[in-house]
Structure 1
């Protein structure tokens, strides 16, 4: 059997580490400037914790916004917990990093997207990752870098 480097898994691990580092800084220092996050996650992930009524309303995935009001952000090695306001009803969530599908900070046009086998059926199960980041010289446009173009 030939040994190979699993770049997809390594990239996902690095991207989740980046999310952990950003959230750790926000938990310590708060959100700087206009930064805010849209985080989409898989509500069916076994480690995801959310109120029953939220799970019923979002049976497969949910996008949360961390911007004006959030409380008790706790960041760990496997995921993060946060209390968010849903129509004047504060609810505690726990999101494992592995459940995250997208992490976007629109204030700087930065985004990470984690794709799975279901997203890329013709990819034979290989993880897929895309990084989108603003070009500082051209703030109105972003560049999407797809790892697929580097695969054989």
Structure 2
């Protein structure tokens, strides 16, 4: 579904904004390197148009693949619609090109941050699952506190596990 004069496609707009955030983070890393303990787990659809990976990698990961940007990567370049990076697979450097629309997850475990882009089986995003919004439903967003304040702790003072935010949880 796309924006029409009488509707606003919030789901698509939010996914676009989240992909823009990832692009901004990757641009900073391309320019300055990974700061501190930051590292990324990025999964993507290997069949998405525009994904470029070696044939042997596509055979090994026919549906999706998760890469890690941490210790060894080179040539990270971020463009408007995609990014490219060379990673080492068992002493075999391989270039990859990944469109932002192919992303499924982006996780930075060093700060308990994650985003998930769920596959859409249909284009009708206008209906929201009312059960997901009732008072008994599980909270849709993790309360992640990068400063370590008490807001990110449960009632017993224990740190809660991070949750990957999934906007599609509310779609039928």
TM-score range, shorter chain: 0.7 to 0.9
TM-score (normalised: structure 1) = 0.85
Specify the alignment match of 1:34 in structure 2: 37
Q: Does 1:17 align with 2:20?
A: yes
Instruction: Establish whether residue 6 from structure 1 lines up as the match of residue 9 from structure 2.
Output: yes
Q: Aligned pairs, how many? A: 147
1:116 matches 2:119: yes
Which one of the candidate residues 71, 94, 103 is aligned to 2:74? 71
SS in 2 for 1:112: strand
Measured against aligned partners, the alpha-carbon deviations of 1:2-48 in whole angstroms (never above 9, x if no partner) come to 72110000000100000000000000000000000000000000100
Secondary structure of the 2:117 match is strand
SS class of match (2:144) = strand
Distance 2:53 2:164 in 1: 32
Cα contact 2:42–2:105 (8 A) shared by 1: yes
- Asked whether the 8 Å contact 1:81–1:92 carries over to 2, the reply is yes
Q: Is the 8 A contact 1:113 1:131 kept in 2?
A: no
The answer (yes or no) to whether the contact 2:113–2:164 under 8 Å persists in 1 is no
8 Å contact from structure 1 (residues 111, 133) kept in 2: no
Offset at residue 86 of structure 1 (A): 0.5
Question: Structure 2 vs 1, CA of residues 59 and 73 (structure 1 numbering), >3 Å: closer, same or farther?
Answer: same
User: Retained in 1: the 8 A contact 2:45–2:103?
Assistant: yes
Contact 2:116 2:166 in 1 (8 A): no
- Looking at CA atoms only, which structure, 1 or 2, has the larger radius of gyration? 2
* Range moving further from structure 2, 139-148 or 42-51: 139-148
**Which residue does 1:45 correspond to in 2?**
48
Unaligned runs of 5+ in 1: none
Please tell me the root mean square deviation across aligned C-alpha atoms, in Å. Answer: 2.7
Using the alignment, how far apart are the partners of 1:47 and 1:116 within structure 2?
17
TM-score with structure 2 setting the length: 0.76
Residue 103 of structure 1 aligns to a residue whose secondary structure is strand
Q: 1:143 to 1:57 in 2, by over 3 A?
A: closer
Is 1:54 aligned with 2:57?
Answer: yes
CA shift for structure 1 position 83: 0.2
